[in-house]
């Protein structure tokens, strides 16, 4: 068990806990890197999967579409994590990942691969709220942004490290290799968590409350902070996907870029996401998580609106995309850190709701993105994304108006 956090250590981690703390945070981060890579690799390697399975490319994109349902099922697992324990659900998430990927690798049939990748996506939807709630239980609020930010670098890492490694695996060992490689890493994550992360005993009052999943959500949705959080997640995701689904087409049509060059644009986005996560690590706790959310969201709203102005040349267009994704990632990671404390008795439930609302927002953004771009070009896209992002700012400001973190002395994981 890690030693207790004391007020004298508020500006840094206690030196006695640093080695074990590093191992624990590293285990959570690498496990999430595996989950994120499994979640994202089908997008760039859809043609390889299509050829390997002997199906049309549209059939592989149907698999990707099925991914979008997994955050909604997280609504069921969030309350279970709050009752049964966060460590248990982290293990369950990695177990779903490993099971699904090994199934897809061993039985390379279209239906099995679809089911396997869905299980891998569901594993991420089970793991993410559980790990973040675990951090919320174990890390003082004053250092929450730093720890969440470190682990969240795994999102950018999946683009900058995970996807290129998957490409090497496919090139040298075939399209089924990632299924076995990521599945094996999922099993390794299970072993590491069992060895390094202590079993968390759920609070007696939580276990003694015989509320079903429906009742838990009904109670939570009576809270203004919860409604503001769900609105924020929906609008911020819809604003981003309105742009994200068309940025490749925009760069291609405006600057006559090749597929390879557009790929470098994706690297730009990955670097921006990493920058936003590192800003959270080094700055959000000092400035204050609540203020960081307001600042980041305000800047990203402004960046959406300015994109049509500075997008006239390729360097400025890429710079505009970089600024949007930098400020957006800083906003989201800062808010995730904040979200772990909005409802301390229902941490995983609240975070699962955040991801579910964000998933619905991404679907909405994907549906409206192409029609808006076709009708109004990048000007229309930028203005609509800015307007939706402004709604996210209104929602979070309303939801957090009277909220303040409770005073507690948590353990440092």
The pLDDT tens digits for 354-390 are: 999 998 998 899 889 989 999 999 999 999 999 999 9
The mean per-residue pLDDT over the stretch 225-235 comes to 96
The pair phi, psi for residue 327, each rounded to 5°, is -70, -35
The mean per-residue pLDDT over the stretch 243-266 comes to 80
Fold of 17-210: Growth Hormone; Chain: A; (1.20.1250)
Cβ atoms within 10 Å of 402's Cβ, excluding its own:
8
Instruction: Return the sign of the alpha-carbon dihedral for residues 361, 363, 365, 367.
Output: negative
Percent of the chain with pLDDT over 70: 90
Does pLDDT of 104 surpass 70? yes
| pLDDT tier, 411 (very low <50, low <70, confident <90, very high otherwise) | low
Q: What is the pLDDT of residue 406?
A: 75
The mean per-residue pLDDT over the stretch 223-250 comes to 93
- State the Cα–Cα distance between residues 40 and 123, nearest whole angstrom: 13
Does pLDDT of 6 surpass 70? no
Report how far apart, in Å, the C-alpha atoms of 31 and of each of 151, 189, 222, 339, 399 are.
Answer: 9, 6, 34, 21, 32
Q: What is the pLDDT of residue 201?
A: 65
pLDDT in tens, 187-198: 999 999 999 998
The pair phi, psi for residue 4, each rounded to 5°, is -70, 150
Q: Name the average pLDDT for the chain.
A: 87
| pLDDT tier, 4 (very low <50, low <70, confident <90, very high otherwise) | very low
pTM over 0.95: no
Report how far apart, in Å, the C-alpha atoms of 220 and of each of 159, 345, 353 are.
Answer: 34, 10, 10
Q: What is the pLDDT of residue 259?
A: 64
- State the Cα–Cα distance between residues 246 and 252, nearest whole angstrom: 10
Fold of 215-399: Growth Hormone; Chain: A; (1.20.1250)
Q: What is the pLDDT of residue 204?
A: 42
Q: What is the pLDDT of residue 10?
A: 42
| pLDDT tier, 257 (very low <50, low <70, confident <90, very high otherwise) | confident
Q: DSSP secondary structure string, 204-217?
A: HHHHT----HHHHH
The mean per-residue pLDDT over the stretch 3-7 comes to 36
Asked whether this chain's domains 17-210 and 215-399 adopt the same fold, the reply is yes
The mean per-residue pLDDT over the stretch 34-39 comes to 93
Q: What is the pLDDT of residue 251?
A: 86
The mean per-residue pLDDT over the stretch 26-49 comes to 90
Does pLDDT of 60 surpass 90? no
Q: Where are the domains of the chain?
A: 17-210, 215-399
Does pLDDT of 207 surpass 50? no
Report how far apart, in Å, the C-alpha atoms of 343 and of each of 58, 62, 211 are.
Answer: 42, 36, 16
The mean per-residue pLDDT over the stretch 37-54 comes to 87
Does pLDDT of 29 surpass 80? yes
Q: Which residues pair with 411 in a beta bridge?
A: 4
Q: Are 86 and 348 in contact (CB under 8 A)?
A: yes
Range from 24-28, 60-64, 138-142, 365-369 that averages highest in pLDDT: 24-28
| pLDDT tier, 412 (very low <50, low <70, confident <90, very high otherwise) | low
The mean per-residue pLDDT over the stretch 154-162 comes to 91
Classify 335 as helix, strand or coil.
helix
pLDDT in tens, 308-327: 998 888 889 999 999 999 99
Higher per-residue pLDDT: 303 or 208: 303
Range from 53-57, 64-68, 394-398 that averages highest in pLDDT: 394-398
- State the Cα–Cα distance between residues 34 and 158, nearest whole angstrom: 8
Higher per-residue pLDDT: 246 or 292: 292
Does pLDDT of 62 surpass 70? yes
Q: What is the pLDDT of residue 307?
A: 93
pLDDT in tens, 8-23: 344 455 554 667 788 9
């Amino acid at each position: 068990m890690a030693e207790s956090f004391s007020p004298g250590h508020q500006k840094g981690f206690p030196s006695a806990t640093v080695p074990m703390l590093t191992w624990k945070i590293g285990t959570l981060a690498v496990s999430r890197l595996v989950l994120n890579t499994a979640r994202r690799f089908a997008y760039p390697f859809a043609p390889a999967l299509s050829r390997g399975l002997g199906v049309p490319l549209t059939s592989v994109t149907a698999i990707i579409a099925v991914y979008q349902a997994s955050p909604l099922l997280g609504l069921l697992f969030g309350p279970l994590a709050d009752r049964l324990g966060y460590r248990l659900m982290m293990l369950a998430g990695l177990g779903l990942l490993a099971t699904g990927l090994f199934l897809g690798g061993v039985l390379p049939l279209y239906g099995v691969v679809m089911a396997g990748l869905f299980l891998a996506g569901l594993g991420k939807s089970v793991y993410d709220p559980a790990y973040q709630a675990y951090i919320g239980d174990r890390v003082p609020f004053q250092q929450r942004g730093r720890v969440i930010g470190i682990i969240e670098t795994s999102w950018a890492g999946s683009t900058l490290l995970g996807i290129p490694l998957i490409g090497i695996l496919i090139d040298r060992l075939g399209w089924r290799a990632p299924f076995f490689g990521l599945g094996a890493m999922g099993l390794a994550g299970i072993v590491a968590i069992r060895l390094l992360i202590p079993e968390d005993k759920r609070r007696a009052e939580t276990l003694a409350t015989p509320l079903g999943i429906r009742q838990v959500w009904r109670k939570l949705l009576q809270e203004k902070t919860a409604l503001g959080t769900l609105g924020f997640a929906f609008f911020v995701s819809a604003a981003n996907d309105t742009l994200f689904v068309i940025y490749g087409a925009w760069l291609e049509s405006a600057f006559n870029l090749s597929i390879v060059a557009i790929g470098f644009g994706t690297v730009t986005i990955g670097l921006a996401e990493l920058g936003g996560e590192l800003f959270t690590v080094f700055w959000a706790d000092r400035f204050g998580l609540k203020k960081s959310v307001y600042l980041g969201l305000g800047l990203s709203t402004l960046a959406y609106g300015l994109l049509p102005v500075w997008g006239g040349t390729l360097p400025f267009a890429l710079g505009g995309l970089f600024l949007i994704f930098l400020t957006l990632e800083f906003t989201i990671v800062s808010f995730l850190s904040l979200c772990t404390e909005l409802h301390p008795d229902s941490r995983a439930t609240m975070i699962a709701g955040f991801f579910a609302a964000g998933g619905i927002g991404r679907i909405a953004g994907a549906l409206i993105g192409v029609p808006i771009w076709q009708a109004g070009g990048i000007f229309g896209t930028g203005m609509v994304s800015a307007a939706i992002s402004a709604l996210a700012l209104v929602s979070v400001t309303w939801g957090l108006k009277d909220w303040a973190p409770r005073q507690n002395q948590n353990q440092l994981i």
